[in-house]
């Protein structure tokens, strides 16, 4: 009987050790679970939120929707009227308003404003008496000389000149929103490339630098519209894709040959700059060495225009050239061709040939048309951005986009105010900047790179991580619950 307690003692010790081990494991498991849960709460969830939350800057929706250029823009063209001694009875503002309304009933943003002072910005109409009614537009300033007879209704006649000739293209464009198929889309920067294409391989020198210097004043007049960079090049062995027809005194190119005149396959005319390139191409045919000109049929300038690309002119020398000497093309040879390119440049930038030849009047009309076009395009870009943001709730809208939108709106409002005060050149600059900012907002790289990040993508990214970790946590929790229930049962038994 005395040996029995000694036999039970090792058993009790083993049970005690097991109990201690069980408590230690349970405590350790609990501590680990607490650490893991704390890490998830303090690190995992914030990290998950920060990596999956899409930042959407607040865009000025109301301000964009409230802008209405059709009601806020108002172009008032200042016209100063003078007349020779004895000519009276003109200068009635109501006549000009009524004549405009009759011709363009849907045009509400443009009008003539008669002023009492002469400035470089104002149009000056000088009325003279004569035997027959006529008018002449100066090539050097904004003066229009009008000749009237004693029976002429002066205000009606002047208004017909202004509306049916001077500003006709501008008014038709504003009312009907006509878009030129010849002109380049608007850009604040253009490259101009003058290319001399020599049909054979004989060395040729051309005084293009002197010719460009004479061309620059024209480009300077467009400074408020766009900036231009100029380069030049010579290419030899520039053969035409088709042979021209030969007659007794000339070589001829028919109009049907013009679409294939430029040999894009063999002539290196590509330009990979991000800004659009205006090409002015001078073709120097081999027939110059024979003293026979190459002529384009049905053209007086021996040139033609390629819409949204550039202009082409053929240079024929007056006298035969010796083939064993270097050919010299002087600035005087280039002068008539550069004048052709100047006229073509107007068309390529959006000024139709129907407008008066006066450069200032042409550029003024282009400026006003660009203001309307740029503001409209800017608002279209901003409204498209709002539509995109409303349609794709998962798209990010970075702060850079909001900044560009705000800047574009500021420039639009500034352009509208400048138009009201008659400062059209500055308004053109502001409207151009508004367009640039609106495009920058719409094509912001941070928004484009993460254009759409749906919930399915989040699941695909995090499931490989959440699956294994989640299963371990789940089994750990189940084990803790099981241990907790087991302890409660043991306590009840002991009680």
Tell me the H-state helices in 255-352: 331-349
Residue 355 has pLDDT above 70, yes or no: no
Residue 60 has pLDDT above 70, yes or no: yes
**Distance of CA 411 to CAs 255, 430, 464, Å?**
46, 5, 49
pLDDT interval class at 290 (50, 70, 90): confident
Q: What is the mean pLDDT of residues 9-25?
A: 59
Q: Is the dihedral of CA 377, 379, 385, 388 positive or negative?
A: negative
Q: Nearest to residue 424, comparing CAs of 225, 189, 180?
A: 225
Contacts 24+ apart (CB under 8 A), 362-369: 363/221, 363/222, 363/225, 364/142, 364/424, 365/167, 365/169, 365/170, 366/225, 367/224, 367/225, 367/424, 367/425, 367/427, 367/428, 368/75, 368/110, 368/170, 368/174, 368/424, 369/170, 369/173, 369/174
Query: 251, 292 in Cβ contact below 8 A?
Result: yes
Q: What is the mean pLDDT of residues 199-210?
A: 92
Least confident of 33-37, 138-142, 297-301: 33-37
- Look at 467 and 107; give whichever has higher pLDDT: 107
What is residue 270's predicted lDDT score, i.e. its pLDDT? Answer: 79
Residue 51 main-chain phi, psi, to 5 deg: -85, -15
Q: Nearest to residue 345, comparing CAs of 258, 215, 435, 231?
A: 215
Least confident of 146-160, 191-205, 237-251: 237-251
Of the chain, the percentage scoring pLDDT greater than 90 comes to 52
451-469 pLDDT per residue, tens: 555 666 666 776 776 677 7
What is residue 1's predicted lDDT score, i.e. its pLDDT? Answer: 46
Six-digit token pair at 186? 């608007």
**Distance of CA 25 to CAs 32, 98, 189, Å?**
10, 99, 75
pLDDT interval class at 495 (50, 70, 90): low
Least confident of 39-43, 156-160, 411-415, 417-421: 39-43
Query: 114, 91 in Cβ contact below 8 A?
Result: yes
Q: Rounded CA gap, 110 and 157, in Å?
A: 19
Q: Rounded CA gap, 136 and 129, in Å?
A: 14
Residue 392 CA from chain centroid, whole number = 24
What is residue 81's predicted lDDT score, i.e. its pLDDT? Answer: 96
Rg (CA), the chain: 40
């Amino acid at each position: 009987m005395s040996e029995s307690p000694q036999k039970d003692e090792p058993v009790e010790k083993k049970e005690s050790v097991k109990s201690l081990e069980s408590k230690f494991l349970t405590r350790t498991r609990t501590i680990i679970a607490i650490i893991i849960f704390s890490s998830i709460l303090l690190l995992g969830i914030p990290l998950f939120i920060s990596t999956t939350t899409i930042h959407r800057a607040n865009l000025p929706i109301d301000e964009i929707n409230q802008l209405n250029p059709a009601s806020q823009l108002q172009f008032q063209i200042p016209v100063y009227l003078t007349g020779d001694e004895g000519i009276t009875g003109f200068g009635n503002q109501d006549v000009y308003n009524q004549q405009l309304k009759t011709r363009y009933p849907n045009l509400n943003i443009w009008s003539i404003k008669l002023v009492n002072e002469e400035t470089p910005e104002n149009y000056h109409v000088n009325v003279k008496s004569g035997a027959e009614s006529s008018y002449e537009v100066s090539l050097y300033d904004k003066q229009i000389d009008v000749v009237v007879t004693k029976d002429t209704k002066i205000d009606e006649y002047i208004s017909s000149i202004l509306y049916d000739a001077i500003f006709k293209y501008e008014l038709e464009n504003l009312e009907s929103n006509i878009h030129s198929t010849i002109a380049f889309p608007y850009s604040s920067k253009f490259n101009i490339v003058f290319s001399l294409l020599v049909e054979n391989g004989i060395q040729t020198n051309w005084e293009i630098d002197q010719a460009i210097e004479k061309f620059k004043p024209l480009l300077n007049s467009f400074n408020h519209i766009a900036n231009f960079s100029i380069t030049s090049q010579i290419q030899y062995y520039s053969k035409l894709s088709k042979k021209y027809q030969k007659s007794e005194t000339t070589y001829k190119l028919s109009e049907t040959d013009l679409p294939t005149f430029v040999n894009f396959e063999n002539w290196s005319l590509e330009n990979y700059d991000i800004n659009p390139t205006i090409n002015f191409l001078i073709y120097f045919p081999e027939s110059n060495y024979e003293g026979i000109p190459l002529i384009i049929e049905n053209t007086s300038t021996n040139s033609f225009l390629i819409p949204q690309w550039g202009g082409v002119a053929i240079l024929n020398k007056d006298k035969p050239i010796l083939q064993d000497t270097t050919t010299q093309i002087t600035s005087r040879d280039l002068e008539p061709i550069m004048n052709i390119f100047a006229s073509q440049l107007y068309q390529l930038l959006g000024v139709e040939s129907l407008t008066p030849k006066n450069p200032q009047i042409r550029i003024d009309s282009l400026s006003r048309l660009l203001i309307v076009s740029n503001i409209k395009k800017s608002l279209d870009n901003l409204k498209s951005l709002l539509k995109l943001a409303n349609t794709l709730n998962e798209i990010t809208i970075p702060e850079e986009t909001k900044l560009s939108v705000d800047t574009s709106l500021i420039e639009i409002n500034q352009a509208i105010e400048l138009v009201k005060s008659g400062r059209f050149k500055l308004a053109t600059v502001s409207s151009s900047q508004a367009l640039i900012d609106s495009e920058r907002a719409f094509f912001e790289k941070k928004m484009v790179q993460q254009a759409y990040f749906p919930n399915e993508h989040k699941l695909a990214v995090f499931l490989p991580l959440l699956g294994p970790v989640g299963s371990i946590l789940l089994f750990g929790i189940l084990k803790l619950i099981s241990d907790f229930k087991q302890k409660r049962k043991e306590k009840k038994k002991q009680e």
